[in-house]
A and B are shown apart, each in its own frame.
Chain A
Amino acid sequence: MKRRRFAQLAASTGIGLGLAGGWMRWGPKGPPPWHPAAVRQARRSRVLIARCTDYDAVRLEACVRDGLEACGLDVSGRRVVIKPNFVEFDPRGVINTHPVLVAATTQVLRRLGARSVTVAEGPGHRRDNGYLLMASGLLEALRDIGAPYTDLNRDRVREVVARASFSPLGTLWLPETILDADVVISMPKLKTHHWAGVTLSMKNLFGIMPGAVYGWPKNVLHWAGIEQSILDISATMPRAPFTIVDGIVGMEGNGPIQGTAVAAGVLLFGADPVAVDATATRVMGLLPERIPHIAEAGRFHGNSDGDRIEQIGETIESVQRNFAVLPRHAQLRRSST
């Protein structure tokens, strides 16, 4: 009943609604709603917070190289796909992963011996990928270094049985570019989200779901439940994506589109997307245990508990900013009870 009520609420918004929280906590009687293959919880997960205050390409390359090495990402001989966040573009805002960071990361991966590096995105709001590429500056950044780009909205797709059943979807139609990659790097922006609370590595994976199948916006996933879909998609990824969060300039308030820029001055790195998302949430001065999809993923898919995260680089306290949230998300704040 609660699941159905949530789906109705989500659909009623046309976009979706955040969860009040709690309903996803499955009772002890039933089996957990995930397949054993979706359990990726290590004993401890390493997350690096690096201070980085601007988008200077040279400094970014150094920072990204150090971050990848500190987290032990091996890309030698591998096909790498970078999934940034280009859900939409607004010249007045800071919606997107910065194109210079995407290009810098591509260059670093090449130098580390990646067999190929492709940037790929399936924008959720706009069908016009050409507009997003041209207007955002991503096209120029990628052409300068000869980096290929794939429109995941119109990529070839394959049906894959979901490794979790938080949503009623059962199977997911995933792009071959993602399925065939050896390494996927999820590269979200550090942002609040008006429905999901925050949008980080796991929420960024909405952008791999092809619009030709799921629509613009990806309304099939909204009817199935935003939080539930995030969990099912994340659980069904062939391999856990490595995460680099662009928090040099983040977004607070009415994110992910119309919020306000925050110069947070950080990049976060990690191989466990749940741990990175939990840490990034803490950097935003918010409580990951109150973000339903992060809290639930912390039960099986990765580590959200701070005690199980090996924090390196900057401390959370030294970089923490209290991101503003909409009143409906006031409970996410540390001071709220």
Chain B
Amino acid sequence: VIQIPRLHTDSATALQRLIGRRVHVDGGVSTQAHAHADLESTAWAILAEAADAPGANGWIRAQLDVGGNWTERRGPAWVVWQTGVVLAITPSLPREAARAGCHWLLSHRGRRLPLRLRLSRRIDRWRARGGAVEMNDELVGWSWADGTSAWVEPTAMAALALARHAPIDIAFQRGVRDAVALLIDRQAPDGGWNYGNVRVLDYDLDSFLDTTGWAVIGLSAGWEGADIAERRRLVDVARRGLGALATMSRSDRSAPLGLAVAWHACMIWGAADDAARVAERLRSLLPAAIDATNDGYPILDTRTAALALLVIHGRPLREPVQ
């Protein structure tokens, strides 16, 4: 039995109120007060049970376009990353909407480099010459905006989305494999992840706490469809990621979002001791973060507040891998 430290109930109430002030009359939820409602914030608010579920779910369904893409009406159509978020976390999505969304995701991946450039970079690697950015160009993940390169966070979200709805269509499992392969390729030497570049111009880049957490969570999406050898590989990669999370979360500069995501990653991969320590650190930061947010500073956006609420209630984003 995993013992989850109880966070201060005052923090839970304050986080609920924070999100409650961002709920719009049409059911959507915004990232901050005085902002437009957005898909990501609304989906997180529903998951954390901090918004009226029927109203918020209705708002999310209203944003689905005929092609299966969730896109906000006030922004450009080529912004695509919210679809993965909605599919990954929104409770009670209608089956047909989920199917359409996952098929849309599969057909809207990150943009690959032209073949000529991929070949020249492969030759550079073969000659052991460092490239501008070192990564496996053959892998295809998911982007923030249509027609651009794949990055860690949207790829992790796509992995979670496709894995969640894999029972609907076996084709979704292949997308999960692709996403996990890209995440593994983008793991930094320190075991963590940043936005998605490991090494640039012969310099190793640093990892971030929040993106490392998302990548470790995203890896868990590959568990169900993996064979024994693949699971061993996933465990190895995830262990290194958890090690990086443990190191980064000890920093006195860690912040609520990174800590909350790290807690979910630890819980999903069975690192209960680390999860407890991360939760304790989050507990100590929340009162000041809530104060600053109430003063108008964007410390606890709706996503962060929802993730922290889930920590308080001991509800990891996914079932732990078995």
Contacts and interface: CB of A to CB of B under 8 A. Distances in A.
A131 B255 contact: yes
A55 interface: no
B196 A14 contact: yes
A14 B282 CA distance: 33
Interface string A175-207: 000000000000000000010000000000000
B127 interface: no
A88 B282 CA distance: 22
A36 interface: no
By Cβ-Cβ distance, the 7 closest A-B pairs, closest first, are A215-B144, A131-B255, A135-B253, A130-B299, A151-B298, A219-B148, A13-B132
B145 A214 contact: yes
Given A156-B35, A173-B75, A215-B143, A142 B201 contact: no
Interface residues of A, number: 51
A173 to B, nearest CB: 6
Interface string A137-158: 0010011000011110011110
A79 B299 CA distance: 24
A20 B225 CA distance: 47
21 contacts: A12-B132, A12-B133, A17-B132, A125-B195, A128-B257, A128-B304, A130-B255, A130-B256, A130-B289, A130-B304, A133-B299, A134-B255, A134-B289, A154-B32, A154-B35, A155-B35, A156-B74, A220-B147, A222-B149, A223-B111, A254-B203
B258 A213 contact: no
Nearest to A257: B205
Interface in B181-229: 194-197, 200-201, 203, 205-206, 208-210
A129 interface: yes
Provide the main secondary structure of the chain B interface.
loop
A257 to B, nearest CB: 8
Contact of A157 (B74, B195, B304): B74
Among A15, A143, A150, the most chain B Cβ lie within 10 Å of the Cβ of: A15
A138 to B, nearest CB: 10
B300 interface: yes
A219 B298 contact: no
A150 B31 CA distance: 12
B247 to A, nearest CB: 14
A13 B133 CA distance: 5
Interface string B58-97: 0000000000000000111011010000000000000000
A136 to B, nearest CB: 9
Contacts of B137: 12
Contacts of A194: 200-201
Nearest to B40: A212
Interface residues of B, number: 56
Given A149-B298, A157-B74, A216 B113 contact: no
B119 to A, nearest CB: 11
A70 interface: no
Interface in A8-35: 8-9, 11-15, 17
Given A12-B133, A139-B292, 18 more contacts: A11-B111, A15-B200, A91-B253, A129-B301, A130-B299, A130-B304, A131-B210, A134-B255, A139-B299, A154-B35, A211-B144, A213-B79, A216-B153, A219-B145, A220-B78, A223-B111, A223-B149, A258-B205
Contact of B255 (A128, A143, A151, A216): A128
Among A15, A128, A155, A159, the most chain B Cβ lie within 10 Å of the Cβ of: A128
Contacts of B210: 126-128, 131
A151 B300 contact: no
A329 to B, nearest CB: 11
B295 interface: yes
Interface in B246-286: 253-258
B44 interface: no
Contact of A254 (B75, B114, B201): B201
Nearest to A91: B253
B304 A220 contact: no
Among B36, B79, B195, the most chain A Cβ lie within 10 Å of the Cβ of: B195
B113 A8 contact: yes
B133 A216 contact: no
